[in-house]
Amino acid sequence: MPGEAKPWTSEDCLYLNIWTPVAKTGRKRPVMVFIYGGGFTNGSAAMPLYWGDRLARKGVIVVTFGYRVGALGYLAMTALSKESADHMSGDYGLLDQIAALKWVRRNISGFGGDPNRVTIFGQSAGAMSISLLAASPWAKGLFQGVIAQSGGIFEPMEIAPGWALSNAEAAGDAYAATLGSPSLAALRGLPAERFLGPDAIAVSHPVVGGAVLPRSPYAVFAAGQQTDIPTLVGSNEDEARALVDLSAVRAATFKDGIRAAWGDLPPALLEAYPHATDDEAKIGRADFERDLRFGWDMWTWARLQAATGRRPVFYYHFTQKPPFPTGTVYAGWGASHFAELWYVFDHLAQEPWPWTRADEAVADAMSSYWTNFAKTGNPNGAGLPRWPAFSGANRVLYIGDPIGVGGLPDQPALSTFDAVYAQVRGAPVGASGKP
């Protein structure tokens, strides 16, 4: 919140937190491991919002852990790849996540957990990480279910060439030069704070092409070579409200604003979002950002798993609007990016906001769906509206007041993304889910 002191941070971050149910049953309990978001540049497992106490009351073990972010987590360099036995660099944050999952597999039984019933769940960059873990040969066997909230990496790699190993190494070499350190030894002698400047954002992203992530998630899933396990994915109705300033959006500058943020894009993408009036332009920009950043990826993840996997996939669209108070940074955000977290962790009481009985019902239902999924690979359970598995019929659970099943939101615009990406990739994903 504005005015609050910045939390203490450190590169010494590789720790875990564990919550267990109070009641002892003598049986090993399912485990939920949370991966936080933060755009691969920030984030923390210490945030009270991520405490697992409420979920643990529903019969699961909850684990959160820290992983390196920013340049310290993802810097690739030619010299680093040369000294590596695997001829790769970058993805150290992803390796931290794999190390944490290996620790859970070795040790969680000592806390009453079942190492063979581990579900990883995450939001934003945490969900994007899960798409990478599901595609990585180094992570196979470490988890038996995935829940991804508003994040995945399925766009054509052709539109993100900087993520390829050779290009990431070149960018890392250029970044290292800005630090004035000509050698790895000199770089390793710098204080960690030197790697936290704004220039580090350019090298703070996963790297595709190394041993830990040889191919993109899309290529892996399209070939049916992903970790094939029960999958639960989705995103929020108003994702972009927390990420884009819509107050300055106007019909006359709609295309220029998107071009300034994303560069030149195919006209079809922009025309898929009405923007004839200023009001239309604000809605169109919000929906465009939602679909570009989250909506298409989550839909594509669900379709690929449904098409090439044998395990079920469940798809949701979160619509509940928290009572964000007027005068706070959250005012007017609606069902924005990260708004579902208070409900998933059943932590409404952490904020003194005017929560309603509907909010409480959604929190109880959402946390129950999540823990049921961790227990059985299926979110359904007693007292909950039925959630059908996703299929070509696009059966989506709308999580709000009320909870109910419907068709895919904004499918015409999302299909436009399909057509554009097909031209880039040459392998479209059709509405049936088949690549």
Active site residues: 124, 239, 337
Radius of gyration of the chain (CA): 21
| C-beta neighbour count of 289 within 10 angstroms | 22
CA distances from 19 to 51, 56, 84, 149, 369 (A): 8, 6, 36, 21, 19
Burial class (CB in 10 A: 0-12, 13-18, 19+), 294: buried
Q: Tokens representing 329? A: 């940074």
Cis upstream peptide for 402 (omega within 30°): yes
Q: 173: part of which helix (H) or strand (E)?
A: helix 165-178
Signed CA dihedral, 294, 300, 301, 302: sign only: positive
Within 309-425, where are the H helices?
Answer: 341-344, 357-376, 411-425
d(CA 402, CA 397): 11
Q: What span, in angstroms and rounded, lies between the C-alpha atoms of 206 and 266? A: 26
